[in-house]
Amino acid sequence: MIDECEILGLEIVFGFKQENVPYLGAVTLQMEERNFILDVTQSYTEDSTIRCDLEIDYDTFPKGGDYNYLLTGNDLQGRNLDKAEFYIDEYDSEPESITLFFRVGGENGCTYTLDLNEE
């Protein structure tokens, strides 16, 4: 995945349980010319929270051109990204928070969070 970094998942918190499961798109992360795109592969709903597994989807977002996949774990840790967004649509209420969880430093490393904006 991202160099020096393991993506653990995504959590979306709403004010109340969604009657309809919203359309869950992709995470877009960018710093200067380096970027990374992650697509939702599976989602799990519990009350007002949706948790998502993420993966690289080169079929939908091919490497090269707009998507270079050069973002690093240091970029994420710095939290000064030019873009940190998640595409979500068709929800009953706006999300209260969208949080990306990631670990740097291997299995015994530190876990971090990054708040994402809704795209």
pLDDT, tens only, 22-34? 788 899 999 999 9
The pLDDT-based confidence of 78 (bands split at 50, 70, 90) is confident
Q: Is the pTM of this model over 0.85?
A: yes
Looking at the DSSP bridge assignments, the partners of residue 54 are 40
Q: What is the pLDDT of residue 1?
A: 63
Looking at the DSSP bridge assignments, the partners of residue 68 are none
CA distance 67 to 35: 6
Q: What is the mean pLDDT of residues 1-27?
A: 86
Q: What is the pLDDT of residue 55?
A: 93
